[in-house]
Chains A and B, each alone.
Chain A
Amino acid sequence: MPTTVVHRFNREPAVYAPGEEILLTVLVSPHDPEPATGTIRTATTVIMPDGTESETVTTESPYVVDGKPGTARTQVVSDSAGRSWVKVSENTAGTEAVFRAVA
């Protein structure tokens, strides 16, 4: 699953008066490569104490390997009104970052 990023303001609708604090939360879904799937084929031969060998028995079973979540880091890159945004917080995995500006 590709990374997705969602913005959420601390007010809905996002309308502010001059001087008010604007908080923008950026939510990042965990980075998740495509899971890998396949089949494990096992061949088993039983060896008797007298040295005879049984027939080989073959088994097959499916496997799934999940992607490992990575870390993300977010920055504000532009504001069309030229406002300065400061990062207030970001968790270790980078799945949630909060930015602050003044209207």
Chain B
Amino acid sequence: MVTVSTATATAGTAVGQASSYLVTERVRGGIYVGSGADWRSDFAGANVRSFTSYASLAQTGTAIYPGADWRAALIASGLLFNLVVELKWYGAGSTVAGQAFKVEGKSYTVPAPNGRIQRRAGTTFPVAWSYDQVLAGQCDGLLHRLLVELRKIPATARVNIQFASEVDTDNEFGTSASTDRIYTRAQADTLAVRTYEYMIRWMRQPPAGISPLPRPGPVTFSVGWSGAWSGLDGFLTLHPETLPVDYVQWNCYNQNGNLTAYERLTPMMASYRRLGPVMRAKPIIIAEWGTNPAHPGGQGPWIDTWPAAVQRVNAEQVQRGEGQILVTNYFDSGYGLLTPRPAGIAALKRAYAAIPFR
């Protein structure tokens, strides 16, 4: 809250008056393009100030960060890099077998991932290191390998490590660890929060003899969440007051029905407002947002309403003294795939040139 004071001089006396106003945060408009493609020429001239990329913890450190020279260039120019790092094994380019390697002179033996997530009936369950394996310290080598690369991030950069893409999607049907431990949704959520606390604390305060990330410094942490559809209980379980994240985050899609942008933002804002006072003071990242091209009117007009909806949420939040949305990255793939692409790109350029992004 900002206070402005005036003085009025009249008839030899002065009368003072003060009043207050509030200013919300500037929001970073960002993008992710499918397959992690280089989007710079497509979005040339757009006010893009953040971007997302996805990696598996199975990949080597440099393949995770920065993953490509063009991303390092964007980071150096001031964009906020939201880097999703998953326990999920992606397949090609990484290995599902156990690994033995050294990092900074320390020897690690990382077992093959024994977990299964996103266990939707009729699908092949994705492979991931299980919460059990992480909590047993068996993935420490993977964390150390990533830490070495993150230490190289320039001090003026902004890199947010988002562990898990969407914990609720991972745990929706329960998870398993090896063949003999099958966890319900609730059990998986309880293990997940312990796991991500472990991972962030390991990165922040690694074991003796391993240099930590500088603090304050360019690296922040968050844990991914999909949306309110998965239920408030899981969201509250994943976000105890002690969760050492720097942002709270989730995704926001206009799918399964055509609602306004504000209507799409408010369900998770309601969940966020149910968090404890420490968590609901943290800034918010909308790691993915998008709208279905099949909805009446298409994507352009809906995208045009996004800035005002974000600003409306932030105006409400600043009056409450709670966290505001600082980043929204459009997901140009899957649910949000820009179709037709030129019109979608033009709409995002307009949106990111508008308040509160400009």
Listed in ascending order, the chain A residues whose CB lies under 8 Å from chain B are 3-7, 9, 13-20, 22, 24, 26, 28, 31, 33, 70-81, 83, 85, 94, 99, 101, 103
B25 at the interface (CB under 8 A from A): yes
**From residue B300, how far is it (CB to closest CB) to chain A in Å?**
22
Inside 8 A of B21's CB, which chain A residues have their CB? 9, 14-16, 22
Given known contacts A16-B24, A18-B356, is B8 in contact with A78 (CB within 8 Å)? no
Closest residue of B by beta carbon distance from A79 = B4
Asked if residues B6 and A3 are in contact (CB atoms below 8 Å), the reply is no
- Bound state CA distance, A101 and B2, in angstroms? 12
- Bound state CA distance, A43 and B24, in angstroms? 73
B319 at the interface (CB under 8 A from A): yes
Inside 8 A of A5's CB, which chain B residues have their CB? 6, 8, 15-17
**From residue B49, how far is it (CB to closest CB) to chain A in Å?**
13
Contact of B11 among A19, A31, A77, A85 (CB under 8 A): A31
Inside 8 A of B13's CB, which chain A residues have their CB? 3
B318 at the interface (CB under 8 A from A): yes
B20 at the interface (CB under 8 A from A): yes
Contact of B7 among A4, A24, A33, A77 (CB under 8 A): A77
Q: Is the interface of B mostly helix, strand, loop or mixed?
A: strand
Given known contacts A5-B17, A81-B2, is B311 in contact with A17 (CB within 8 Å)? yes
Find residues 312-358 in chain B having any chain A CB closer than 8 Å to their own CB: 314-315, 318-319, 355-356, 358
**From residue B112, how far is it (CB to closest CB) to chain A in Å?**
49
Closest residue of A by beta carbon distance from B23 = A103
Asked if residues B318 and A15 are in contact (CB atoms below 8 Å), the reply is yes
Asked if residues B24 and A15 are in contact (CB atoms below 8 Å), the reply is yes
- Bound state CA distance, A79 and B18, in angstroms? 9
Given known contacts A28-B8, A70-B10, A77-B7, is B319 in contact with A19 (CB within 8 Å)? no
Closest residue of B by beta carbon distance from A103 = B23
B35 at the interface (CB under 8 A from A): no
**From residue B326, how far is it (CB to closest CB) to chain A in Å?**
12
13 further interface pairs, Cβ-Cβ under 8 Å (given A4-B15, A14-B19, A76-B4): A5-B6, A5-B15, A7-B17, A14-B20, A14-B21, A15-B319, A18-B25, A18-B26, A31-B11, A70-B10, A73-B9, A77-B7, A78-B4
Listed in ascending order, the chain B residues whose CB lies under 8 Å from chain A are 2-11, 13, 15-26, 311, 314-315, 318-319, 355-356, 358
Inside 8 A of A7's CB, which chain B residues have their CB? 4, 6, 17-19
- Bound state CA distance, A80 and B22, in angstroms? 11
- Bound state CA distance, A31 and B10, in angstroms? 7
User: Looking at B7, B8, B11, B26, which has the most chain A CB atoms within 10 Å of its CB?
Assistant: B8
Asked if residues B19 and A17 are in contact (CB atoms below 8 Å), the reply is no
Asked if residues A78 and B2 are in contact (CB atoms below 8 Å), the reply is no
Asked if residues A73 and B23 are in contact (CB atoms below 8 Å), the reply is no
Inside 8 A of B24's CB, which chain A residues have their CB? 15-18
**From residue B46, how far is it (CB to closest CB) to chain A in Å?**
17
**From residue A66, how far is it (CB to closest CB) to chain B in Å?**
15
List 22 interface pairs A-B (beta carbons < 8 Å), by A numbering: A5-B15, A5-B16, A7-B17, A14-B19, A14-B21, A16-B23, A17-B355, A18-B355, A28-B8, A70-B10, A72-B10, A73-B8, A73-B9, A73-B10, A74-B6, A76-B5, A79-B3, A80-B3, A81-B2, A94-B8, A99-B6, A103-B23
Inside 8 A of A71's CB, which chain B residues have their CB? 10
Given known contacts A19-B355, A20-B355, A22-B21, is B26 in contact with A74 (CB within 8 Å)? no
Closest residue of A by beta carbon distance from B1 = A80
Asked if residues B4 and A6 are in contact (CB atoms below 8 Å), the reply is no
Inside 8 A of B319's CB, which chain A residues have their CB? 13, 15
Inside 8 A of B26's CB, which chain A residues have their CB? 17-19
Given known contacts A15-B319, A31-B11, A72-B9, is B17 in contact with A24 (CB within 8 Å)? no
- Bound state CA distance, A22 and B19, in angstroms? 13
- Bound state CA distance, A3 and B11, in angstroms? 9
Inside 8 A of A76's CB, which chain B residues have their CB? 4-6
Which 6 residue pairs spanning A and B have beta carbons closest together? A72-B10, A14-B21, A7-B19, A5-B17, A17-B356, A81-B2
Inside 8 A of B20's CB, which chain A residues have their CB? 14
**From residue B6, how far is it (CB to closest CB) to chain A in Å?**
5
Inside 8 A of B25's CB, which chain A residues have their CB? 18
